[in-house]
Structure 1
Amino acid sequence: MQSAWKKFAATMAAAAMCAIGFAGTSSAFAEDTGSTGTSTSQTPTAATYSITINSMETGHTYNAYQIFAGDYALVNGARVLSNVTWGDGLTAAGQQALLKQFDVKTPAALAELMASESFTDAQLNEFSTIAGKNLSTTVAGTASTPGTSGYVISGLPAGYYLVNDQSNTLTDENKAYTGYIIQVLGDATVTPKSSVPSVDKKVQDEKADAEAGSDADGWGDSADHAINENFQFKVTANIPADPTRDMYQHPYRVQFNDTMSAGITYGSISSVQISYAGADGKTVTNDVPKAAYTVNTSTVTAGTPTMLTINIPSLRAAAGLDATASIGGAFTITVIYNAHLNENAQVLQQPGAITNTNTVNLQFSNNPYVQGSLGKTPDKTVYVASFQLNGTKHAGSETGPALAGAQFQLFEADGTTQIPVYKSGDFYYPVANTENAPVNMVSGTDGQFNIKGLDAGTYVVKEVVTPAGYNTMDPVTIVISATHLQGNVTALTATVNNEPGSLNVDYVNTTGAELPSTGGQGLRMFYTVGAAIVLIAGAGLVVALMRRRKVNGR
């Protein structure tokens, strides 16, 4: 009979219980010591006992409710609770509900049924469900502060108790409510075994410039991207094995809460997948049906952070499991979604902290008996950097006056694939949609044309319209290199045409050769050259005439 009560305790508590069982008649609970021989009986001298919850985790308030009461005695060395009656921890409605559910007339008869080998796990779950939902307001004892050995509930008469966390004490805490059926025929100690989920978040970068510690596909804690470039975030809920989930009276719920800073725009869900161990022990990975989750976004005003929630109201439905399947095993839920940086994004020109952030936490069901009671994990934040490239057009030299009206285009490293840009305010941004028509970059009266929101990489700037009187400059190749880790850009450098430079680039137009003009020095030079030619021609004519005279004998 001891084994039946071990099963009962395990299901009720989903934790290590005291070894309890029935001995003697159906009206006596006892600890079976295996003794034989002549029956002896003794009444213990202690009047009350204690329950110690072996945990130092703060924030809990444990209440003890007496489920069964009776007369306590030692019989043949075994601790026995005879003449079993209801304790005052259950409401009258709860008592009647249990008797009706199991078709018995008295608590002693219920005790006999529960001690039988035919009492199933499903029936044990039914018992715990009804008891947990029908606790009275009579609390036999409470503990809210851990001592040197944990939480101690003292002054308890002999009996059987349900001990659980007081409702509404762990809302938004990274903790789960626990529940125990505990035999108190002497001081008792239990160790909580309820587990809580955790959440992780990653952002994907190009493999070539991903941060140190990123995985082979570029997933890490930080990345750098161009404004309007699509990239992906990944959030993962790790839900450890916990038999308590099979005791829940309502669907077990998880919800991702993402907060994107004003410079990040949510795009769309790419995938939602769930993984768990199948009946054969092999990992099963499936897409979560779209009907099994909802996605909502909220932005109070433009330029403010966006909240993205991905709610999975039923873990069972997400996994595609029927009502008879256990959900007490480990599960992993992974969501990948698209996003991009927008014009509100922070851009850097020198090393510093990254303020384009995306922070996630996970809410999860944490009370088997109260629907809507949710715990919450700590936050996890990832970071996305972007960079600004300033250009200034000069006449004659890098220190020459500003030159307005020059027009430029931006290209990838091959020098032939154009990166279209559009202008908004005083800045140019990479185009990644049809909302903004691409334009040429034009140097202003101050010579400047500044590009906001570039990824690290190699770029070529070409002049496509040159101001009159100036030579078109050769293409300029710029390489932006960045190192980022744990929310900071730790190094940011640039080379210009293979020479060390910065993200402030000076572009130069030189003047063309000066052609002659009316009344100018050039015309006088032509006059001088012309006169010289006439004089030389005249001299040649004189020499020729003299030679002719000699030939003719003159």
Structure 2
Amino acid sequence: MKKVWKGFAAAVSAAAIAATGFIGATSAYADDPAPAPAPTTGSITINNALTGDAFNAYRLLSLTNSGSAISYDLIGGVDSAETTALVSAINTTNNNKALVAPATTASDNVKNEFKDNVIAAVDAFKGDDSATMRKFAANLIAAIKTNNVAVTGTATANADGALVINSLAPGYYLVDQTAQTADENGDNVNTLSAYLVDTVIAGQTTSINLKKGTVTLEKKVQDWNDTEGKPTNPTWSDSADHDLGDDVPFQLTGTLPTNYDRYDTFKYIFHDSLSAGLTFNNDVRVYAVNGQGDAATEQEITKSFTVTAPAAPESFTVTNANLKNITEDDKGAAVTINNATKIVVRYTARVNENAMMGSAGNPNTAYLEFSNNPNNGGEGTNKTPEDKVIVFTYKFVVDKTFEGADAPAENDMPEFTLYKYLPTGTDGALVATQIGQPVKVTGNATDGFKAEFPRLDDGKYMVSETKVPQGFSKAPDTYFEISATHSEGDNPALSTLKVTFYKDATFTQTAAEPVDGVIDTGTVTVDIENKAGSELPSTGGMGTTVLYVAGAAIVLIAGIGLAVTLRRRQA
């Protein structure tokens, strides 16, 4: 702010010179037309405004100027609403020092001294970005509303962001942002601007920049192919596929506004919602990340946050009531949090029996709630739009047929066991690892016979008939690979689902062309046929009976042969 009384003497001299010049000019050019009247109002242009931003302007001091010389005065005297608001804000900002307005009947000298003290106190808060100035502005808007100071001008941003408050009487103004436009979901990623204070001069436009910022949230999930092995640093994506029982890693990344330094308190709350197919493992970790790329450093600050389980549909929240209070990480080392810092939350959730298979998937959303008002202690919050990731899972179905005979009895149905090839052998060699328990074929001749293996992800598998019904031969083992692609972006989706069959466990020679799965249900299917035939004999089973019958036949034949031989000898 310009010094109030700076150049007062110069202003007087300039006025005198101007008057002399005016008189002389009038004498010399008496017949010239009268000059245009001097402007009596000014305006404020607000930069960086968005459509829907709204502002009120309050005039607290009047102003007169002559050239570069500026003089302020009280509006409405020592007891006006404007003066009372100024005095209240000054006293509060200066730790309740008593600047007392004189009575309206006081002498002009007393009133002038009081006016000088008010203007000098306001001038002492100079420095748009100083902490004292921010405190004074916050106290001033509170006093303005308490004392019902009239709004002098209003403005709303138009589509291209231009905003002007016109026809303002010269003076000292405070500009207060009163509204933001949220989207259809009530989300708004911007903070309110800090209070703006500046001077309006007749005939001039005062340009001021909004002191606000933007907050964003990004949610990601990790994906990898178990058969290929989990990489050291899996990619963070918008979609993934996982098996039943997998612990799926998730990550939330929040940013801070550019005007973060203008806040005394800054609330920061992650809201996370998991679908019914995922069980939260309650293993949240929070980090402060500074720097970019390979140069980025992260420090754990989990102890500074509280994890709670709110009411449905949210699964949990991760809350810090005031980021400004975080000065150390969990190990006691100093930590820096500024407007370039990212706050990162990581946790896992397990795929459970409720996981949806196919294109519906298991969506998971999160949004960030944050302080949006750097004034009045940071009261009020906005929230980011929800960001969604999705976890897909699939189903493998054996369609069972029986050749040359009726289906076996229900209590003699075949059973199949599923194996997944994982790099658990020497030097990462793939080893067939059993997935779950054997599954018994169920169904009927009308609807077909099936064995289902739900909630699988991509990878290489083998399905083996581990219980063969009597009267049938064991079906050959089936080797196959499930593969899928899913899109990224705001609405990730399951794009393709295929199954490829191979001749053996080397997975080098295909047995047939890849077959498309059913995306809606996430189903891939194989036809496996049992051929009629005898099993190898086994103790205690049908094989033993066969041996008994064959032995008896041999004994009978031998007896007949012996009897014939004896009869011949007797003859």
Pairwise same-fold verdict (TM > 0.5): yes
Alignment check: 8 A CA contact 2:187 2:385 kept: no
SS in 2 for 1:112: helix
Task: Report the counterpart of residue 260 of structure 1 in structure 2.
Answer: 274
Task: Go from structure 1 to structure 2 and tell me whether the alpha carbon gap of 1:228 and 1:513 turns closer, same or farther (over 3 Å shift).
Answer: closer
1:360 aligns with 2:384: no
Task: Go from structure 1 to structure 2 and tell me whether the alpha carbon gap of 1:327 and 1:241 turns closer, same or farther (over 3 Å shift).
Answer: farther
Task: Report the counterpart of residue 51 of structure 1 in structure 2.
Answer: 44
Q: How does 1:6-405 map to 2 (within 5 A)?
A: 21-22=2-3, 24-25=5-6, 45-55=38-48, 57-70=50-63, 72-74=64-66, 77-78=67-68, 80-83=70-73, 92=84, 95-99=87-91, 101-102=93-94, 103=97, 105=99, 106=114, 108-112=116-120, 115=123, 121-136=130-145, 137=148, 138-146=150-158, 150-166=162-178, 172-178=187-193, 179-185=195-201, 186-206=204-224, 217-242=234-259, 245-249=260-264, 251-276=265-290, 285-290=298-303, 292-298=304-310, 300=312, 305-320=313-328, 329-348=339-358, 353-370=359-376, 371-396=378-403, 401=407, 404=410, 405=413
**In 2, Cα distance between the equivalents of 1:513 and 1:343?**
39
Q: CA deviation at 1:496?
A: 2.9
Task: Go from structure 1 to structure 2 and tell me whether the alpha carbon gap of 1:369 and 1:56 turns closer, same or farther (over 3 Å shift).
Answer: closer
SS in 2 for 1:472: coil
**In 1, Cα distance between the equivalents of 2:88 and 2:544?**
115
**In 2, Cα distance between the equivalents of 1:492 and 1:392?**
18
**In 2, Cα distance between the equivalents of 1:289 and 1:41?**
69
Per-residue CA deviations over 1:397-431 (Å, capped at 9, x if unaligned) read: 8x9857752223222215542222xxxxxxxxxxx
Structure 2: any 5+ residue segments left out of the alignment?
20-35, 100-113, 422-429, 504-510, 518-523, 536-541
Candidates 469, 472, 479, aligned match of 2:471: 469
Q: CA deviation at 1:221?
A: 1.0
Paired AA for residue 138 in structure 2: T
1:508 aligns with 2:529: yes
Q: CA deviation at 1:150?
A: 1.6
Worse-superposed segment, 450-459 or 45-54: 45-54
Q: CA deviation at 1:51?
A: 1.4
**In 2, Cα distance between the equivalents of 1:495 and 1:465?**
25
1:484 aligns with 2:505: no
**In 2, Cα distance between the equivalents of 1:364 and 1:86?**
41
**In 2, Cα distance between the equivalents of 1:275 and 1:443?**
53
Alignment check: 8 A CA contact 1:146 1:152 kept: no
**In 2, Cα distance between the equivalents of 1:117 and 1:50?**
23
**In 2, Cα distance between the equivalents of 1:239 and 1:472?**
64
Alignment check: 8 A CA contact 2:55 2:155 kept: yes
Alignment check: 8 A CA contact 1:354 1:384 kept: no
Task: Report the counterpart of residue 406 of structure 1 in structure 2.
Answer: 414
**In 2, Cα distance between the equivalents of 1:477 and 1:167?**
63
Paired AA for residue 484 in structure 2: A
Paired AA for residue 88 in structure 2: Q
**In 2, Cα distance between the equivalents of 1:207 and 1:93?**
67
SS in 1 for 2:137: helix
Task: Go from structure 1 to structure 2 and tell me whether the alpha carbon gap of 1:453 and 1:403 turns closer, same or farther (over 3 Å shift).
Answer: farther
**What RMSD, in angstroms, separates the aligned Cα atoms of the two structures?**
4.5
Task: Report the counterpart of residue 444 of structure 1 in structure 2.
Answer: 442
Name the % identity: 26
- Report how many residues are paired: 472
Alignment check: 8 A CA contact 1:89 1:140 kept: no
Paired AA for residue 205 in structure 2: D
Alignment check: 8 A CA contact 2:243 2:455 kept: yes
Alignment check: 8 A CA contact 2:227 2:460 kept: no
Alignment check: 8 A CA contact 1:207 1:217 kept: no
Task: Report the counterpart of residue 14 of structure 1 in structure 2.
Answer: none
Paired AA for residue 530 in structure 2: N
Per-residue CA deviations over 1:163-195 (Å, capped at 9, x if unaligned) read: 121168767422221131121013222232421
Alignment check: 8 A CA contact 1:164 1:177 kept: no
Structure 1: any 5+ residue segments left out of the alignment?
6-20, 31-35, 421-438, 546-554
**In 2, Cα distance between the equivalents of 1:188 and 1:390?**
73
**In 1, Cα distance between the equivalents of 2:253 and 2:270?**
9
SS in 1 for 2:139: helix
Alignment check: 8 A CA contact 2:58 2:153 kept: yes
SS in 2 for 1:269: coil
Paired AA for residue 254 in structure 2: A
Alignment check: 8 A CA contact 2:240 2:392 kept: yes
Task: Go from structure 1 to structure 2 and tell me whether the alpha carbon gap of 1:366 and 1:116 turns closer, same or farther (over 3 Å shift).
Answer: closer
Task: Go from structure 1 to structure 2 and tell me whether the alpha carbon gap of 1:407 and 1:372 turns closer, same or farther (over 3 Å shift).
Answer: farther
Q: CA deviation at 1:345?
A: 2.5
Q: CA deviation at 1:454?
A: 0.3
Task: Go from structure 1 to structure 2 and tell me whether the alpha carbon gap of 1:344 and 1:100 turns closer, same or farther (over 3 Å shift).
Answer: closer
Per-residue CA deviations over 1:227-261 (Å, capped at 9, x if unaligned) read: 3311111010022432xx34335x21122222333
